[in-house]
Structure 1
Amino acid sequence: MKKRVLTVLLSAVMALTMTGCGGTKTDESGKSSDSKENSSAISGQSTEKVTKGKAPKGAKTIEVWSEDRHDLDYIESMIDNYNKTNEDGIFINLTIISDDYENMVKLAIDSGTAPDIVGANAFPLFKFIDNDLFVPLNDYIDADQEYQKVNEPYEHSYEGANAHDGKIYHVYSGMRSGVRVEYNKDLLAKDGYDEIPAKLSDYIDMAKDVTEKGNGDVYGIGFTSASPFERLLEMSAQVSGIYYYDYTKGKFDFSGYKEILEQGKRFMTENIAYPDQQGVDNMRALFAQGKFALWSNASQEAGVFTQQIPIDKFEWGVAQVPSLTGEIKGALQTTPSKSYAILSSSKQKDLAWKVISYFQSEEFTKGYLEKGYCLPITDYMDGIIDKSKTGRLADFSMLDYESVYPTVPNVNLTGDDYRTVLWNAVMGYVEIDDAIKDLNTRYNEALDADVKAGNSKRLVISDYDPMHPDKGTVSYKEK
């Protein structure tokens, strides 16, 4: 019997990357985005036709668009094999859209040039289904027992992300882990540490000790200039039971971050952190060179530190992010990904489903996971892949308290977003109390205005549990 759609998901707003399933931004991917030079500009955007050959006579071409470039070698080889061997008379034509993907898809729909299938990893669901742009997949799923076995679609249907009101619009094949601490084992051991503290204050003390003993040559920790708050402190807040949206009341509330920010300021006021915040890849390279001992990011780092910027000067480990008290009081955010939707404008929906069922078949998914592009999202695939082939990705396996988070209402915000403001508070550019007051005011005023205008709905979960945010019963309020 199918499980009812009761779970919810935080929309993927970050570009997902090498071992994290998805994304095209160079500073986040496991490979740079210049691997192929067959690109052209359409409306000022970069597009790339990657399918080999031409459709044979009589074949039906299914157009597929994706923003994912990091996994292109594998995807291209599997499409090439399918185009040569399938008996359904289908030719898959894949196009990579490197920039402004969502708007490019919308423009194509408006102009009548849309593909049949789009990679739907990070699309805001309501923007598409409110305008009937995605096809519900339930009938196709229910008629395909093999697909259900491999993908467990009803177990991974997230209200507001890939499903709404019992209808599933796309199904996830993989998972990116939540943030972990990557650390230089040699540096820490030299200074007398053999494990990562579970308590944030102890973690900061350790980083300070490493910096002081480094005498200006080595630092305890490094932060990137690219959304630094979310790569450690925001996730420490999550596992401390702190979140920026109060699901039971249906409003934003940043008040819980005060102690996290006070602790985080120590990195700056006590001169603990590496004294420069550069782009992600630059900071990764500095970590790989041994310039600082602690770094934090999600499962994409498995591929980065073995392929893109390989660490060969020291042994590196992976640990859990610290919490305020050393106890776990909330779930760590993880992000499902690698999904495909059929556009309602497609004239070949049944054939498009055949392509999706191939992309998410056991053979296709097994190879994808064993290449280390993603962590498995389903129990079935987790049980059949050869994890010895995934390399360091195994160090980022799901924790018991990792979960998806409810999709926070989208608001038309004026001014800096919360991650920018909270990091400015860490840096000392704004007082903590002023930052929290500003965010509470601006976010809730924006939410109230958008709900009143009908541009958004107030999400409420009366039985919300911070340890199991994906298990709550969702309702939407229109005021």
Structure 2
Amino acid sequence: MWKKTSGVMVSAALILALAACGNNGGNNAADGSANQGGNTDSGNAAAPQGESTDTPAQKTTITYWTDDRHDQEYLKELISSFNTSNPDHIEVELTVLSENYNQSVDIAFSGNQAPDLLRIKSANTGTFVKKGYLEPIDAYLTPELTAKFESLFLDEVNRFGGKLYSLPNTGNTLRLVYNKDLFDKAGITSPPASMQELVEDAKKITEMGKKEGIYGFALNLKNPKSAFDRSIREILSLSGHQGLGYDIKTGKFDFAPYAQVITHFKQMWDDGSMLPGSEALDIDPLRAQFAAGKIGMYMSFSTEPGVYKDQFPTAINWAGALAPTLDGQIKGTSEIVSAGTWIGMSANSKNKEAAWKFMEYLYQDQVMTTYHEKGFGIAIVPSISEKAKQPDIKGMEGFLVGEHDSMWPVSPNVTPEGANYGDAFFKYMVSGGDLNAIVQDLNTRYNDALAKAIEKGEAAAVQDPSFDPSKL
């Protein structure tokens, strides 16, 4: 479901319809801005004799798409302030997409209905650059902005082929989110340290609370890859493995460690310890169930404290903790994700100067400091993190960067033929099968895709035989 503020509801079907229609008979201005109120008068008709010919300054409308929901109220405030105060008569329209974000962006670009600005993250920036969706921003940078951010310009993160496409703001830690009240009722004294303990604790909570609709664990399995990228990724990185199936030491994909986690997830599924209906659950409905006290544990990003403060206020006693590892031993570091990027400019935008002015507005120190202090993300820009106060938000203390958090090398982002690893492992979770054969199939298809991407110059194999995940 898509939610849009300051504008009309948009859907993928509408985008395709608009693309098919082509010329809309002049209902949109040549610069792509929407005609306000359906009035097709250009404002150039002669005024009645004796009346002023002055007309209001024409607005330039730019659109911003994001799949973030945790910060949308703050973003709305910023947009409202910008729209009423900027001297260039720029008006920003915000669209919040709740699911299928990358697919929606693809549809928008193919239908020539792309936004002017879009939220980009480490998982999609490289793909968007390769598809030609993003505009380099090097020419817009002032010396002041360069000095502020240049220590965080990273190849294959925000800089590709020597060109810069985004500036950083915050990063997100990954944690186990748990209901302390349910732990107490089930006789659990601390968060699980190993995957076996996670399975056992989830079973205890379910046995204690099932009659009241309470279950030990949940995953947002409506999108399996999204669910695993916010859970298995954390478990594996703390266990000493790159969390997206890539082996940095060999420069190849190897999903054998991934399969070890999946066996424990399948056990919770088979035990009935997962919230019923998890296979159709998106992240916001999951959060709503957690806020209502119906879920013992799940895994997610450091955005959660802000979510439970503004989006799903809750009275339950909850906290964040390091995720369990495969065997209870920490052999790596928890990956700080989505660091290095924030907002990208569309290469198709007809209002690039206006779009940049809004980007520049968002990259002000005060905006970024407040973003951190409100708990929407953890500041990684040195000049911001040095002066920003720690967020005074319930639960945030469990997500703050500590000795077990670090940035990991970027793994190649490839698209294999056939099912992705999320769909393949989810099918095994619910239906069983030959797990070794699934791993071998994924390894073959992902490494074939990697080889083809390298041959085309679309990816690079990060290989470091001496890589030590405990020393990042």
TM more than 0.5: yes
Q: How does 1:235-314 map to 2 (within 5 A)?
A: 235-243=234-242, 244-277=245-278, 278-280=280-282, 281-312=284-315, 314=316
Q: How does 1:30-429 map to 2 (within 5 A)?
A: 33=3, 38-39=8-9, 44-45=14-15, 61=60, 63-68=62-67, 70=69, 71-86=71-86, 89=88, 91-94=90-93, 96=95, 98=97, 100-103=103-106, 106-107=109-110, 117-121=117-121, 124-126=124-126, 129=129, 134-138=134-138, 140-141=140-141, 143-145=142-144, 147-148=145-146, 152-178=148-174, 180-214=175-209, 216-217=211-212, 218-226=214-222, 227=224, 228-243=227-242, 244-277=245-278, 278-280=280-282, 281-312=284-315, 314-333=316-335, 334-336=337-339, 339-343=342-346, 353-429=356-432
- 5+ residue gaps, structure 2: 19-31, 38-54
State the Cα RMSD in Å: 4.0
In the alignment, the residues of structure 2 paired with residue 290 and residue 73 of structure 1 have an alpha-carbon distance, to the nearest angstrom, of 24
**Offset of residue 322 of structure 1:** 0.5
1:218-253 residue CA offsets vs partner (Å, 9 max, x unmatched): 433233323243443342122112231123433211
1:290-323 residue CA offsets vs partner (Å, 9 max, x unmatched): 33422222223223333333322x3112111000
In the alignment, the residues of structure 2 paired with residue 50 and residue 299 of structure 1 have an alpha-carbon distance, to the nearest angstrom, of 36
In the alignment, the residues of structure 2 paired with residue 197 and residue 285 of structure 1 have an alpha-carbon distance, to the nearest angstrom, of 23
Q: Letter of the 1:237 partner, please give it.
A: L
- The count of aligned residue pairs is 429
In the alignment, the residues of structure 2 paired with residue 52 and residue 370 of structure 1 have an alpha-carbon distance, to the nearest angstrom, of 36
Q: Letter of the 2:318 partner, please give it.
A: W
- Asked if 2 retains the 8 angstrom alpha-carbon contact of 1:39 and 1:49, the reply is no
- Asked if 2 retains the 8 angstrom alpha-carbon contact of 1:171 and 1:340, the reply is yes
> Quick one: structure 1 residues 139 and 253, their matched pair in 2 at CA, closer, same or farther if it must change by over 3 Å?
same
In the alignment, the residues of structure 2 paired with residue 42 and residue 210 of structure 1 have an alpha-carbon distance, to the nearest angstrom, of 40
> Quick one: structure 1 residues 428 and 140, their matched pair in 2 at CA, closer, same or farther if it must change by over 3 Å?
same
- In structure 1, the residue matched to 2:50 is none
> Quick one: structure 1 residues 464 and 302, their matched pair in 2 at CA, closer, same or farther if it must change by over 3 Å?
farther
- Asked if 2 retains the 8 angstrom alpha-carbon contact of 1:116 and 1:352, the reply is yes
**Offset of residue 329 of structure 1:** 1.9
- In structure 2, the residue matched to 1:4 is none
User: Quick one: which of 452, 462, 465 aligns to 2:464?
Assistant: 462
**Offset of residue 139 of structure 1:** 5.5
- Asked if 1 retains the 8 angstrom alpha-carbon contact of 2:33 and 2:60, the reply is no
Aligned-partner SS, 1:306: helix
- Asked if 1 retains the 8 angstrom alpha-carbon contact of 2:339 and 2:380, the reply is yes
Aligned-partner SS, 1:153: helix
Q: Letter of the 1:366 partner, please give it.
A: T
**Offset of residue 430 of structure 1:** 1.8
In the alignment, the residues of structure 2 paired with residue 81 and residue 468 of structure 1 have an alpha-carbon distance, to the nearest angstrom, of 45
In the alignment, the residues of structure 1 paired with residue 308 and residue 130 of structure 2 have an alpha-carbon distance, to the nearest angstrom, of 41
In the alignment, the residues of structure 1 paired with residue 34 and residue 178 of structure 2 have an alpha-carbon distance, to the nearest angstrom, of 38
Q: Letter of the 2:187 partner, please give it.
A: G
Q: Letter of the 2:267 partner, please give it.
A: R
Q: TM-score, normalised by structure 1?
A: 0.74
- Asked if 2 retains the 8 angstrom alpha-carbon contact of 1:274 and 1:292, the reply is yes
- Asked if 1 retains the 8 angstrom alpha-carbon contact of 2:135 and 2:345, the reply is yes
**Structure number having the greater helix percentage:** 2
Q: Letter of the 2:221 partner, please give it.
A: S
In the alignment, the residues of structure 2 paired with residue 224 and residue 144 of structure 1 have an alpha-carbon distance, to the nearest angstrom, of 43
Q: Letter of the 1:315 partner, please give it.
A: N
Aligned-partner SS, 1:293: strand
Q: How does 1:24-35 map to 2 (within 5 A)?
A: 33=3
Aligned-partner SS, 1:297: strand
- 5+ residue gaps, structure 1: 1-24, 27-32, 472-479
Q: Letter of the 1:184 partner, please give it.
A: N
> Quick one: structure 1 residues 117 and 51, their matched pair in 2 at CA, closer, same or farther if it must change by over 3 Å?
farther
> Percent identity among equivalent residues?
24
In the alignment, the residues of structure 2 paired with residue 435 and residue 374 of structure 1 have an alpha-carbon distance, to the nearest angstrom, of 36
1:374-421 residue CA offsets vs partner (Å, 9 max, x unmatched): 332223323333435544444322233334444443434232211222
**Offset of residue 140 of structure 1:** 4.5
Aligned-partner SS, 2:190: coil
1:444 aligns with 2:409: no
**Offset of residue 186 of structure 1:** 1.7
Aligned-partner SS, 2:461: strand
Q: Letter of the 1:245 partner, please give it.
A: Y
> Quick one: structure 1 residues 61 and 270, their matched pair in 2 at CA, closer, same or farther if it must change by over 3 Å?
closer
> Quick one: structure 1 residues 120 and 69, their matched pair in 2 at CA, closer, same or farther if it must change by over 3 Å?
closer
In the alignment, the residues of structure 2 paired with residue 68 and residue 273 of structure 1 have an alpha-carbon distance, to the nearest angstrom, of 26
Q: TM-score, normalised by structure 2?
A: 0.75
- In structure 2, the residue matched to 1:6 is none
- Asked if 2 retains the 8 angstrom alpha-carbon contact of 1:60 and 1:90, the reply is yes
In the alignment, the residues of structure 1 paired with residue 294 and residue 360 of structure 2 have an alpha-carbon distance, to the nearest angstrom, of 46
> Quick one: structure 1 residues 50 and 225, their matched pair in 2 at CA, closer, same or farther if it must change by over 3 Å?
farther
> Quick one: structure 1 residues 205 and 390, their matched pair in 2 at CA, closer, same or farther if it must change by over 3 Å?
closer
1:58-115 residue CA offsets vs partner (Å, 9 max, x unmatched): 678473533357345433443443454446x46344453746543356347xx6x877
In the alignment, the residues of structure 2 paired with residue 51 and residue 396 of structure 1 have an alpha-carbon distance, to the nearest angstrom, of 45
In the alignment, the residues of structure 1 paired with residue 187 and residue 34 of structure 2 have an alpha-carbon distance, to the nearest angstrom, of 51
In the alignment, the residues of structure 2 paired with residue 371 and residue 230 of structure 1 have an alpha-carbon distance, to the nearest angstrom, of 24
